[in-house]
Structure 1
Amino acid sequence: MKKLKFPSAQTILLIIAGLVTLLTWVIPAGKYETLGYNSADNTFTKTGITETENLPATQQTLENLNIKIPLEKFTNGDIYKPINIPNTYHQLKAKPQGFFDFVKSPIKGVIEAADIIFLVLIIGGLIGIINSTGAFDAGIGWLANALKGREFILIIFVTILVAAGGTTFGFAEETIAFFPILIPVFLAARYDAIVGIACIFLGSTIGTMCSTINPFSVIIASDAAGIAWKTGIWGRLFMLLACLTIALIYIIRYGKRVQNDPTKSIVYDQHQQIAALFKHDKKVIDFNGRLRLALIVFTLCFIVMIYGVVSIQGFWYTEMTATFLVGAIIIGVIAKIKETDFIDTFVRGASDLLGVALIIGIARGVTVIMVDGLISDTLLYYASSATEGMNKGVFASAMTAVYAGLSFFIPSSSGMAVLTMPIMSPLADSVGIGREIVVNAYQYGMGLFYMINPTGLILASLAVVKIGFDKWLKFIMPLFITLVVFTLIVMTISCYL
């Protein structure tokens, strides 16, 4: 009897899309009324179930709608998406999604995620160009020699650096660019690909989970909850340091086992396949000035990306994609690559990440089905009703679990914040705790589930290195359970401090 093989990332997501399609036939359709700010004429637009009206952009308008958010949070752009208005949920006529809606959802998802998909493809092209120059091979060889006997420094450095990006500006989707670059470095250090994925993906996940000044997470959530974003920052900083420490110990111990005995690797049966995928020429390459300059330009692309996202207003996927495209062209000129060879190499590099791009689009398609089937707000309504009036400690843990569950359907941190905070944050008042507890529950719940959330980024990340979701679960589950227990204990204690 043939051994059953765990399905691919694309198949897993299509199965999930099919199940969500069936849920639209079971879960009642419903929707909250929304409020959006118009900067052009300084008014609010209240979108109801059957009609839309313009309202004056005043604090009195917000109070009349039971929205406890300062007006300046809208006028200065902190809240830039329409928010749900509390106590306005209406059940609507069911809108179940059919077979053709299911079939069209991946296509709609690809269209909606076109910005990040193009970013991934252009990054693939850039990596193809830098690999063809030999600069990357030379750099890996140099780094492997420099770290000999101290490879654990690589784990600590990469994880902390990526976590710093996550906690400050929400470094998440951008990490896709780093897998093809850093995995060969980890392999050269005698680790396996799982260690590389863990350092990059978990670093980003824990950083965003324990966001301190991340505008796309803690700041927008605090604004939507009607509190200052600095409220509760010391608790989040403690969680960041504690969770990072736990994760680093776990990764380093696993990595040491693999170094001592490669057969202990969870992906040992794929050792040759992964090595071939990320093979680099082991012969000595003269790390000359031309190759050094190519690597400098390559590195500058990522520095420009990070600086632009953090410091330049409106610098987003289009600008990031253009940065990597220009970088690839400059490297081609430096390496004196012929025009036809440049195009062929760039296209081959982009095609290597085409599977990753499609996974991102299919995952977005799951959200499309929910929105079209009008069940997103229904799930939020029942989740808020279930936690109302609970004991403090139970409420904090339950709210964390609720946000973990909701993140399966709404994987966007900013989207989750504006949709749920106006509804969820007032529940803290009813149990006698600060609203920052709800903000923390939102962050920790989303962050913890993100580690294994198939509608998040993990399947796309694993696809880069051709590793199955089942093998990731085998690696991550002991750490995941440890972090869940630790987080729930911290959340319960924080309610009584």
Structure 2
Amino acid sequence: MEGNSKRKKGKFEFPHVFALLFGLIIITALFTYLIPAGVYDREVNEAGRTVVVDGTYHEVESNPTGLFGILESVHRGMVDAAEIIFFIFIVGGAFGILNATKAIETGLASVSTKMAGKEILLIPVVMVLFALGGGTFGMSEETIPFILILVPLAIKMGFDSLVGAGMVIVGSCAGFTASFLNPFTVGVAQGIAEIPLFSGMGVRLIVWLIFVAFSTAFVMIYAKKVKKNPEISLMYDIDKQWKKEDSIQNHLETKLTARQSIIIGLLFLTIIGLAIGVTFYEWYIMEIASLFLLMGIIAGFVAKLRINQIAESFVNGCRDLVVGALVVGLAYGIIVVLEDSNTIDTILYSLSGAIGQLPTAFSAMGMYITQSLLNFIVPSGSGQAALTMPIMTPLADLTGVSRQTAVMAFQLGDGISHAITPTSGVLMASLALARIPWIKWIKWVWPVIAISYLAGAVIVTVVHMFIWTV
């Protein structure tokens, strides 16, 4: 008995997401003592975007992050991420009201029953839709609410939470990576590189199809294995908690009432409104949060909930997403450390200098690798474009790389790691909502990430040598 007790106490536990991110903040802070401080000058371009000025890098006084700076970075990260944090709370509150109407759980039971024996077909349909969102209007933060729908649905259909989260995260990231109309990545990068906006779309559409095809195949193959043998799932024990909750076990034979049908229709109208607003009216987090809040309030009244019930349900929805929301702020804390210590520009300067020393044939590959590495410290697509493209554009001219190829290298390097980088607030929040530890997610998703990086390397090489030649 004593030996068993000791073994239990010594059993390895995966670190909590908060512990993982705080550990990364500490590691980043230690590196600020080793990396020289330096900055580029910045200017506002014709599009009104602040960009770096190539050739202006200079060293500045070192400002490494101390112990108190590490602690301050948590609060400052929360402040910097406030827009996304409160977006998550408001959307979570709106879904709390929806959950109180029982419309979603009854709808999930209905869908599960109707698709009995054909559940696998849901995966390609959902993933293509998210990939289209990522490839056109840069769907990213907008994906977070769908975790609350698709993870329970995937489990109810006999899959696991990795399949549910994978449909959302892997699908949207595949589309975002190989986007052909994304204004936040392709649009910004091409604008800075001074090439026609959204030019080269034919090539990008082919790349989009390639990425979406093998990403969808990966999730489907895994889903079939889990369906056949649930115990092989990395999430087998954790997913039992989902199955204990009302949203999974109740209303197995219950049909949607008229009021619940109206609420489900309202949810679909909200999703359509989201797509229209983002695509045509430049909606972002504030407008999207307001849309979901309106949906929640209307759903509450349609379900004849009392005003106090609506308010309490909203609070309950927020409470369920506390971890997911605060994770975003911790991820931003890493960026705060890098910015305060003036080390981001030094890293960029060193990497761009290394590319300049490469033979012309390998310069495009050097750009791709550089953009891939930088995305771990600058997870914003438009932010990375503003930081790197003013440097990569003249570097491309000097090394004989087409500017179009330089944009492709940025695009693929920026996008792939969105599905794994712990500095991505959207990823970490999505995993927290799905109750998937980051380490388990990495163990599951690494094959498709490895294939994506290899495919990206091949694509960059092919377009550099045979399509967008200088």
Pairs within 5 Å for 1:57-68: none
Q: Which runs of structure 2 are paired with 1:24-423 in the superposition (5 Å)?
A: 24-36=32-44, 74=46, 79-276=47-244, 278-313=247-282, 315-423=283-391
1:44 aligns with none
One-letter amino acid of the counterpart of residue 487, structure 1? G
The amino acid across from 1:468 in the alignment is P
Counterpart residue identity of residue 26, structure 1: L
CA distance, structure 2, for counterparts of residue 414 and residue 111 of structure 1: 20
Q: Residues of 2 paired with 1:294 and 1:125: CA distance?
A: 16
Deviation sequence 1:441-484 (CA, Å, 0-9, x none): 11111222222111113222111121112211111112221222
Distance 2:135 2:255 in 1: 39
Give the Cα–Cα distance (whole angstroms) in 2 for the partners of residues 410 and 132 of structure 1. Answer: 39
In structure 2, distance between residues paired with 1:343 and 1:355: 21
**Structure 2: which amino acid aligns with 1:353?**
L
Query: How many Å apart are 1:331 and its aligned residue?
Result: 0.8
- Cα distance between partner residues in 1 of 2:133 and 2:48: 22
Q: Secondary structure of 2:220's partner?
A: helix
1:393, 1:493 within 8 Å by CA — same for their partners in 2?
Answer: no
Q: Secondary structure at the match of 1:496?
A: helix
- Deviations 1:398-456 (Å, cap 9, x if unpaired)? 21111111111111101111111011122111221211111111111122222211111
The residue that corresponds to 1:468 in the other structure is 437
Residues 95, 374 of structure 1: 8 Å contact kept:
yes
CA distance in 2, matches of 1:24, 1:228: 39
Q: What's the Cα RMSD here?
A: 1.5
SS in 2 for 1:279: helix
Deviation of 1:233 after TM superposition, in Å, equals 2.3
Q: Is it true that 1:7 corresponds to 2:15 in the alignment?
A: yes
Distance 2:293 2:74 in 1: 26
Identical positions, percent: 33
By how many angstroms is 1:92 displaced? 0.4
Unaligned regions of 5+ residues in structure 1, if any?
38-73
How many residues align? The count is 456
- What secondary structure, in the 3-state scheme, does the structure 2 residue paired with 1:211 have? coil
Distance 1:232 1:297 in 2: 38
Please give the per-residue CA displacement for 1:53-83, whole angstroms capped at 9, x wherever unaligned.
xxxxxxxxxxxxxxxxxxxxx2xxxx33211
User: SS where residue 326 of structure 2 aligns?
Assistant: helix
Poorly superposed stretches of 4+, deviation over 4 Å: none
The Cα of 1:348 is off from its aligned counterpart by: 0.7
**What's the CA shift string for 1:365-422, capped at 9, x where partnerless?**
1111111111111111111101014234422222111111111111110111111101
- Find the counterpart in structure 2 of residue 440 from structure 1: 408
CA distance in structure 2 between the aligned counterparts of 1:370 and 1:441, rounded to whole angstroms: 24
Deviations 1:1-41 (A, max 9, x none): 4221111111111111111111222111111111115xxxx
* Residue 359 of structure 1: how far off its partner (Å): 0.4
Deviation at 1:97, TM superposition (A): 1.5
Are the counterparts in 2 of residues 119 and 321 from structure 1 also a CA contact under 8 Å?
A: yes
For 1:462 and 1:393, how far apart are their aligned partners in 2?
A: 39
Mean CA deviation greater in 345-354 or 292-301 = 292-301
Distance (whole Å) between structure 1 residues aligned to residue 209 and residue 359 of structure 2: 28
| Separation of aligned partners in 2, 1:124 and 1:117 | 11
Contact 1:424–1:438 (CA<8 Å) still a contact in 2? yes
Deviation at 1:120, TM superposition (A): 0.7
Counterpart Cα distance in 2 of 1:26 and 1:92? 14
TM-score, normalised with respect to structure 2: 0.94
In structure 1, C-alpha distance between the alignment counterparts of 2:120 and 2:222, rounded to whole Å = 11
Q: Does residue 1:452 correspond to 2:420, yes or no? A: yes
Once the two structures are TM-superposed, the CA of residue 303 in structure 1 deviates from its matched residue by: 2.1
> Does structure 2 retain, via aligned residues, the 8 Å contact 1:137–1:285?
no
- Could you say what secondary structure the match of 2:248 adopts? coil
